[in-house]
Amino acid sequence: MIGGQRVKDIGEFGLIELISAALPPQIRATSSLLLGLGDDGAVWRPTSGEDVVVTTDSLVENIHFRRDWTDWESLGHKILAVNVSDLAAMGSLPKIAVITLGLSGDELVSDLQALYRGIGDLAHRNAMTIAGGDIVRSPHSLLFHVTALGETRQRRFLVRSGAKSGDVIAVTGTLGASAAGLRLLAMQPDDPRRGATTTQALIDAHLRPEPRVALGAILLEHGATSAMDLSDGLAGDLLKILEASRVSAELDARRVPVAAAVRALFPDEWFDLALRGGEDYELLFTAPSVAWEPIARSIEDVGGTAERIGRITKRMDDASRIEIIDMRGVRRVCEFGAFDHYRDR
């Protein structure tokens, strides 16, 4: 029975056959994929006249996820979602992904089939094709590596380096929910916050982030000057845009959108969760002030939200900086940075 079999029982090639079958047929083949699963490499033909956008991410067990905190379908969703989010932030159209699995061999085959169902569902909703990948032995921890490819839209794309003095700074959705969800997962079961009616929604925000592909297309269409997805926290990611664009920023803390559930469960920490929590996978962007209203209306038309949270200012010296207007209206310089894999441990 497959349900009780482990990877080492069926081997690499048996596993490839079973996890491939777990993907919807329409994401295993497409007219633009000339050669897909089963060969030494995939052959993909982009749309004529468009350029290719490439992104890659790795997720390592006990660094980026814990198996006791997630189910396998949610894990599959997330390992693809973090890559699709990068493509969305550039205003590109997701097309192809290849996935490398690092396995010990003791994993249940049924769990990996569930992983690929999670991958397949997100890929299907974004009209992507899973074109193959690799399986390697990883005796100490589970790991995943995904490379995703997208296409530009009329050869246009968004970058981090286009912000200009006077531009609006804005974000989609709300911030801090993913970080709050991670905090909740780490709490003891008897903590009363674990039983709150909003707890599962916050946990889901962490385990199953939704890439903002449609919103990235709107930003591109309506003249956003820069954009990126929020993976390392608002303060750190905004600083990346500022440094790439050689500008500074004024950020109004009173306008940062934070879900009521985050405020209620973390009354003393909610702003720090929004500012530095990370893994929201919402879009942070800048745009000329005249473009703000058309962008906000178009995002609302597709069921999304966006909030204006600050403005780009001129850089006074060689260093970009963020000046925060706090809840009392007091200005101060933000000293927070982005998450660093080698310092934040």
How would residue 204 be classed by pLDDT, with cut points 50, 70 and 90?
A: very high
Q: Are 278 and 175 in contact (CB under 8 A)?
A: no
Distances (CA, A) of 122 to 84, 178, 266: 9, 19, 31
Measured CA to CA, the distance from residue 51 to residue 91 in angstroms comes to 12
Average pLDDT of the residues in 222-238: 96
The pLDDT tens digits for 128-158 are 999 989 999 999 899 999 999 999 999 999 9
List the domains of the chain with CATH numbers.
Answer: 2-151 (3.30.1330.10), 168-333 (3.90.650.10)
Q: Are 146 and 80 in contact (CB under 8 A)?
A: yes
How would residue 18 be classed by pLDDT, with cut points 50, 70 and 90?
A: confident
23-37 core/surface letters (b: 16 or more CB in 10 A; e: else): beeebbebeebeebb
Instruction: Give backbone dihedrals phi and psi of 324, rounded to 5 degrees, phi first.
Output: -100, 135
Average pLDDT of the residues in 211-238: 97
Measured CA to CA, the distance from residue 245 to residue 285 in angstroms comes to 12
Whether residue 31 has pLDDT greater than 80: no
Beta bridge mates, 258:
175
Measured CA to CA, the distance from residue 280 to residue 76 in angstroms comes to 17
pLDDT of residue 337: 53
Q: Are 161 and 244 in contact (CB under 8 A)?
A: yes
